[in-house]
Amino acid sequence: MQIEGCVAFVSGANRGVGACFVEKLLEQGARKVYAGARDIRALGSHDPRMVPVELDITNAEHVARAAAFAEDANLLVNNAGINRLEPALAATDPSAAREEMEVNYFGTLNMIRAFAPSLRLSGGAIINVSSILARIALPSMASLCASKAAALRMTEGVRAELAPHGVRVLSILPGAIDTDMSRDFPPPKIPAAEVVQAVFAALREEGDEVYVGTMAQQIAADLAADRRAIQTILAGGV
């Protein structure tokens, strides 16, 4: 798929990876970029091709309105996500796990269901921004890992359902990215632009799962070689 001339919709477009998607899509010649944000006043670019859309992906009304308004979109970037940084058992806020599921799993599913009819007509593409933590548990944020794992499985199902309609569905699995979400993580962290460039490259190539950055690529290789060994390392010897 070509970025030049495409019409994209990006969720969580006001900061972090989402804001970078908007910037790079515009730079590389997208015809229009719908920028979904919970607070549209927080959107940065004043490019006339950027169209602000109020969007909380857990709000069914917002999602339906966004899909109807942006029915010409042929590239859906499901980027919005949260990480409450909570373990499974010792969570300080037991509701965090449900919130992560609501946003990262159900919110993403809401968006795909709403945009699928128009994407089927355009034969477009869906980008689901997942995480390497969809493939393995980091105990200090186990509920985030579970929500991303659920979304990864769901993405596989959606991919199969949409393939006959010529719609590509990609899972993007980065390691730590240098954004607000990972502000308290130690380096190394990849720049948001590296994630966006990897997505653009993947849209020109074959493949369904895109591992971005050395950390994600190494963990994916370790999982393929010896799942138990890498799981033990990430679990800190537990």
Ligand X SMILES: NC(=O)c1ccc[n+]([C@@H]2O[C@H](COP(=O)([O-])OP(=O)(O)OC[C@H]3O[C@@H](n4cnc5c(N)ncnc54)[C@H](OP(=O)(O)O)[C@@H]3O)[C@@H](O)[C@H]2O)c1
Chain residues in the site for ligand X (CB under 6 A)? 11-12, 14-18, 38-39, 55-58, 79-83, 103, 107, 129, 131, 174, 176-177, 179-182
Nearer to ligand X, 30 or 85 (CB): 85
Shortest Cβ distance from residue 71 to ligand X (Å)? 19
The SS3 of residue 78 is strand
Q: Which of 167, 165, 193, 169 is nearest to 179 (CA)?
A: 193
Shortest Cβ distance from residue 164 to ligand X (Å)? 27
* 169 DSSP 8-state letter: E
Residue whose C-beta lies closest to ligand X: 16
Contacts with 203 (C-beta within 8 Å, 6 or more apart), sequence order: 1, 3, 75, 125, 168, 170
Shortest Cβ distance from residue 77 to ligand X (Å)? 10
Across 126-153, b (16+ Cβ under 10 Å) vs e yields: bbbbbbbbbbbbbeebbbbbbbbbbbbe
Strand partners of residue 10: 35, 77
Shortest Cβ distance from residue 193 to ligand X (Å)? 12
> Residue 97, Cα to own-chain centre: how many angstroms?
18
Shortest Cβ distance from residue 130 to ligand X (Å)? 7
Residues recorded for the chain: 238
Nearer to ligand X, 10 or 167 (CB): 10
Nearer to ligand X, 113 or 120 (CB): 113
Nearer to ligand X, 83 or 155 (CB): 83
Nearer to ligand X, 122 or 170 (CB): 170
